[in-house]
Structure 1
C-alpha cells in the first residue's frame, strides 16, 4: 500500500495487524508529490515552462521523487498487488496517478478512507476502486492554469518594472481583496451622528432598563442615513414622559455552529489560538495521520448519519440533550459532499494528540462536532415600542427597547460561542418590565448618544480565507498556501493579526488592475466552477484551458503594444519651492503625497496625481476671522478619495493651529473649533 504521509505508517501497521492478521502487507509513503512541472527552462514548442503549445503538461521527477520512485519500483516488483491509498481528494487522486505513471504499476487498486481507523480501512479494502481520471484531469487543469498565469504574467510584470514581482491565479485575487480594502479605509471619512436613549428606574438597581430613539422613523432617509442635529437629539433625550404603543413577549432559538470544515477550522484556530492557516493544517495533518480525526481537507460541514449514535451516547454521558434527527447544515456551491466534516474518529476519546497544539485543536474539533447536534439555545425576548407624549418641535418621536434572557442553554452549555467569526453576537439583558398598551411611563433620565461611523475592518487571515470561500475562490487544500504566498512575498504585512497592504503589493495590483481578466473575482469564481465540471465529466480539460489561454494571450499582447519600453524609466520631479532638490513619493497614513528631499530645509509638499506631483491647492483667505487670534481663515479643500474640507487659521506658520469643520454653505463651524 502506497500512502502520502510517513506520519500514517505506524497507525496503518497497527490497523493491518488488527484487520488482516497473517497477511504480508508493506506500507510505503510517497511523501506527497513525486512529479511536477519543471521549475525553470522553456523549450521550443512550449507555451510556457512545462506546458506545451497544445496545453499538454510536461512532468519531471522532483529530487525527492526520484529517490522515492526508485525504492517504490523495487518494492512493487515483489508485490502481488498494489494499493494506492493517497488522500481522498483531487490532489490525492492526482498523486496516485503520478505514482502509477512514474513507477509503472499495472492495474493498481485505488482505495480511499476518510479516517485512519480499522473499520474505515477495512471498508476501503472491501470496496476497491480505480483511479478517477476525471478528478486527475481537474487537478491537472488547475495546475496548468496556475502555471500559465503565474509564469506569463509574472514575466510581464518583471519586464515592465525591472523588479522581481509575481502574479498567481488565486494568490493575486486574494491580494486584490486586501488592496481594495486598504483603499476603502483610506477613502473613508468618519461621520459624527446622534441618537438618544431614555432610561427608566426599576425596583432594584439591576432592574433599570432603557429604550432608544428610532431615528429611522421620519428623521433619516436612504440618501441621508445619519441624524446629525445634536441640538434636536438633546431635546429628544429630555423627553419627560412616554406612552406604550406596542408590547410583545416572544422567544427565539439559536442553533449551534456547524462542525468544522477546512475554512472554518482555520478561522477558529486563527481567532481562538492566533494560528496561521499553515500551522493549523500541519497540526490537523498530524491528528489525521494518527487516526484521531477524519480528513481535514473538506468543504462539507455535515457529519455522517452513522456518527449520530456515538454523539448521542457522549451527550447523554454529559447530561446534554441532542436533536431527534441529525441537524444538517447548508453547504457552499461546489462542495464535495462525499467528504464529511472534520470530526473525531472516536467520539468517546476526550483527549488526543502528542503535543499541546494537537491536543487543543483536537478538543476544539470534538466539542464543536458534538455541539452541532445538541438542542438549540432558547431566549425569552421582550420588545416595547413607545412614543413621546408631546411632540418634539412638532414632530412625533418613537422609541424601541428590546431585552433578551437565556432560558435554556442547549448547546451553549458545552460550547460557549462560535470562534469562526471575528465578531461574536452580543445578547442584551435590558430587563423591560411588563407594560400595558397606552400606559404612560415617566422617564428617569435621558442621554444623547454620540456615534461615529467606522471604517471597514482590515482582513485577518481568518476573514480573508472566509472572503475567498464566500466568493467561490480556491479550494480547501489551497488556502494555507495562498496566505503563505502573499505574506512571504511581502505583499502584505500582519499587524496585530490584521493584513495591511504593503507598497509592493499595491504596485503589483496597480500593474494588473483593468488589464488582466483573471484578477476579477467573478472570472476566478467561474473558472473554479469549470474545474469542478471537469471533475464530474460535464466539460473537458482542453476547452477550459484554451479559453483561459486565449484571453490571457490577447491581454498580454495589448500590454506589449502599450509599453514602449519594458523597463521602468527613471523620472525626476524637481521641487517647485526650492528648485534644488527632487520630490519623492511618500505613503502617508491618509494616502500618498510628494515631499521635498531637502526637508527640513525645504518643507514643500504636493498632492499625488496618479503617480506624479499634483498642483498644490491654494487656500484663499476669507472674510471669516479666527476666534483664537483674529486672523483671517482659509478654506482648505481637496476632492477625491483622500480629500478634505475644513477651515484653518492663516496664522498657521505663526503658531495658531486652530481648525474648524466646514458647514453647509461653506461656512466654518465656530462651535467646534480645535487646536489654537
Structure 2
C-alpha cells in the first residue's frame, strides 16, 4: 500500500478517487507542529526553533504514524509553496520518514496528480528554511517588542514585523485625512446642441490653467468662471481623430484576486481566500496563492482554442505579462482547470468568484479593445485681452475585443470614462454654444484604505507575500488597532498609540527595511544567503533598538527598582470600572502604585487597606472572596478572589453579596 499525505481533508476523497485501490490518502489538516505557545521557542546564536505538536496535531500525527507503519512508500503532497514545503518537512521529521517523495501540483485533476506522482523529488531545504525564517522573525519581533510596548503605553499591545508597517499605513492615511483642508475651486462646462440633427448634445471643458496666478493650482475666483460660462460663440481651432487601445488585465494573482473580489463582490480578503481554497480543493481552479500573472503554455493553447470556437477575437500572439519585482513563486496565475466549465462552486460566493476568475482568464487571450477618440480644441471670445480655450474629447468603442466577455478590470475601483459624442468639426468654423455653466469643485481628502487598496499598497511596497495579506488584515482588525467603517479601514486610538510608540525607534516600521527582510527571505529560498545570517542581523538590530526604547520609556520603581508599567482598563458600558495608573512590575511583592500624568508616572497613590476576607469561597481555588469597592473617579464595586493575581475570579456585587457565588 502506498500512502499519500495532503494538507486539506477537502482533497482526500477526490484524490483517492483518482488513485483507487493500492493507495491510501490522508490529510495533515495543515500544520501539525509550531513554536510553543508560552515561550519564544528560539534563541541565539543558532536560532534553531523548538517545535511542539499543536493541539490538533497530536491526534493527526498519531493517526498518520499508524498509516505510515503499513505503507510501502510515502508521498507528501502539501501545497506548492514555502508553507507547504515546511509542512512536508515537519511531517518528515515528526514521523521519522526516510526519503519520502515530495510532489506538487497546481491543480487537482487526475492528470496533474498522476503526473506529479511520476516525478517525485526530495524536500527543498531552502524553501523550508525560508518559511522557518519568516516564522522566527515574526516570533522575535512579537516576543521581544510586545512586552516593553505594553509596559510603555498600557494595556496588552502587540508589535509585528509586517503587521506594524501595515498599521502604520492606515494611521498615516488617517492623519492625512484629519489634516486635510478643503479647497473650493471652479471650472466651466459648455454644452452644445445636436448638430444637424445627427449628433446628440456634447460638452467641452474650459482649460483654465492659463488663467491661474503664480503658484495657483486651482481657479479660486468664481467671477472669472461666471464670465467664461456666459460665452455663446466659439471658434474651432483644431479637431483630431485618433485611436486608443486598452489591453485586457492579466489573469489573477493572489493580490489582484483579493482586490477584485473586494471591489466587485464585496468579499474580504479572508472570505475570498476561503472561497478560493474550496474551489481549488474541489478541482475547479489552480492553486490560489501565487504572484505570477502568467498561465502555462498548455493552458494558454486550450483557452485560445475555446475562444476561437466561441467566435471571439483571439489575439495573434499569446499574451505574457511581466511579473512584479520580487515575484518568487513558480506556479502559474489563478485560472479554471477546465475552461469550458461555465459555473462551479457550492455557495453564491464561490460561484461568483469562479465566474470572475474564468472571465478574466478568457479575456486575457483576446484582442485589445479599440476606441475611436475625437479631440476638438475650441476658442472663445475675448475677455479682457485673453481668449479662453476649451477642449471637447469623445471616445467610442469601435472594436470590443476582450470587452466582449468582461466590462472592466475589477481591480480598479473607478468609473469608466463617459461617452461624449463630439461631432466632426472643421478648423475655423464658428459654433453656437447651447449653454454654459459654472462647475464647482471641492478638493477631496485622500480616501481611507479599503481592504483591497491596503493589499495593493502592501504589495507595491514589497511588504508581506501572497499567503500573508489576509492574515495581516485579520491581525490589525482583530487586535482593535483598525476598525471597518463602511468597508473603509479607520485607525483607532490604540492603533495610533502603537505606531507612535514604535515609530522612529524600530527599523521594522520602515517600509524599506521590511521589504529588505522579505528580499532576504527570498534569498534564503533561492540558496543565495543563509538562515542564521538573516536571523542574527534582525536579532542584533532588535536588541540595540530595545535598549534605547527601554531607556527612553522605562521608569524604575522608587521602592524596588523594577520597571513601572502602565495599567489601563476602559470603563464598562455603564461608565464604571475604568482606570489608568502605573504599578510596579514586581507586584505583588512590591505594591507601589502611581497616578498617570500624561502617559508618565505621576504622584504616588495612597496605599489602600486590603478589604476584609469574607466567608464566601472562590469556586476555582477555595480561597476567601473579598469585597472590593472604590468611590469617585474610576469607581468600582465587585467581589474578587483573595488569591489574585494567581486566581482572577470575580463576581458582580448583588446587594452586598457576590452574585452567583456560594
Tell me, yes or no, whether TM beats 0.5: yes
CA contact (8 A) 1:55 1:545 kept: yes
1:115 & 1:564 partners in 2: Cα distance?
Answer: 54
2:452 paired residue among 439, 459, 462: 462
- Tell me if 1:452 matches 2:442: yes
In 2, the alpha carbon distance for the partners of 1:459 and 1:234 equals 37
User: CA–CA distance in 2 between the matches of 1:246 and 1:169?
Assistant: 57
The question of whether the paired residues in 1 share the 8 Å contact of 2:130 and 2:531 is answered with: yes
Match of 1:493 among 457, 475, 483: 483
Distance 1:205 1:322, change over 3 A: closer
User: Do 2:253 and 2:292's aligned partners in 1 also have CA atoms closer than 8 Å?
Assistant: yes
SS at 1:27 equivalent: strand
Query: Is contact 1:162-1:567 (8 Å) kept?
Result: no
SS for the counterpart of 1:93 is helix
Quote the offset at 1:568 in angstroms: 5.6
1:13 paired residue number: 16
Q: Does 2:162 match 1:159? A: no
Deviation of residue 217 (structure 1)?
3.0
Q: Which residue of 2 aligns with 1:402?
A: 393
Query: Using the alignment, how far apart are the partners of 2:149 and 2:89 within structure 1?
Result: 35
Q: Which runs of 5+ in 2 are unaligned?
A: 556-562, 569-578, 581-597, 601-662
In the alignment, which residue of structure 1 is the partner of 2:520?
530
Q: Hey, what does 1:248 align to over in structure 2?
A: 240
CA contact (8 A) 1:196 1:233 kept: yes
Whole-angstrom CA distance in 2 between matches of 1:516 and 1:304: 42
Map of 1:248-287 to 2, 5 A cutoff? 248-287=240-279
CA distance in 1, matches of 2:101, 2:235: 77
Match for residue 425 of structure 2 among 404, 425, 435: 435
Partner Cα distance (1:372, 1:558) in 2: 53
Q: Which residue of 2 aligns with 1:172?
A: 164
Matched, 1:349 2:347: no
Change in 2 beyond 3 A, CA 1:569/1:297: closer
Please say if residues 76 and 88 of structure 2, whose CA atoms lie closer than 8 Å, have aligned partners that are also in contact: yes
Q: Which residue of 1 aligns with 2:407?
A: 416
1:96 counterpart = 2:66: no
Secondary structure in structure 2 of the residue aligned to 1:476 = coil
Asked whether 1:26 is paired with 2:40, we answer: no
Match of 1:657 in 2: none
Q: State TM-score, norm by structure 2.
A: 0.82
The residue that corresponds to 2:625 in the other structure is none
Q: Is the 8 Å Cα contact of residues 50 and 59 (structure 1) preserved in structure 2?
A: no
| TM-score normalised according to structure 1 size | 0.80
2:204 is matched with which residue: 199, 204, 211? 211
2:370 touches 2:397 (CA, 8 Å); kept in 1?
yes
Give 1:28 shift: 1.0
CA distance in 2, matches of 1:80, 1:334: 41
The CA RMSD measured in Å over matched residues stands at 2.1
Q: CA distance change for structure 1 residues 337 and 142 in 2, over 3 Å: closer, same or farther?
A: closer
Deviation at 1:240, TM superposition (A): 2.8
Selected match of 1:135 from 103, 108, 127:
127
Distance 2:417 2:306 in 1: 29
Q: Tell me, yes or no, if the aligned pair for 2:44 and 2:536 is still in contact at 8 Å.
A: no
Which residue of structure 2 lines up, in the alignment, with residue 191 of structure 1? 183
Structure 1 unaligned regions, length at least 5: 42-47, 572-583, 586-609, 613-676
How far has the Cα of 1:312 moved from its partner? 2.3
The reply on whether 1:388 has 2:391 as its aligned counterpart is: no
- Render the CA deviation track for 1:383-405: whole Å, top value 9, x for unaligned: 01122242x22223221110001
What is the CA–CA distance in structure 1 between the aligned matches of 2:50 and 2:208, rounded to whole Å?
65
1:51·1:58 contact (CA, 8 Å) conserved in 2? no
What does residue range 235-634 of structure 1 map to in structure 2 within 5 Å? 235-336=227-328, 338-390=330-382, 392-424=383-415, 426-565=416-555, 567=564
Q: Which moved more, 1:415-424 or 1:464-473?
A: 415-424
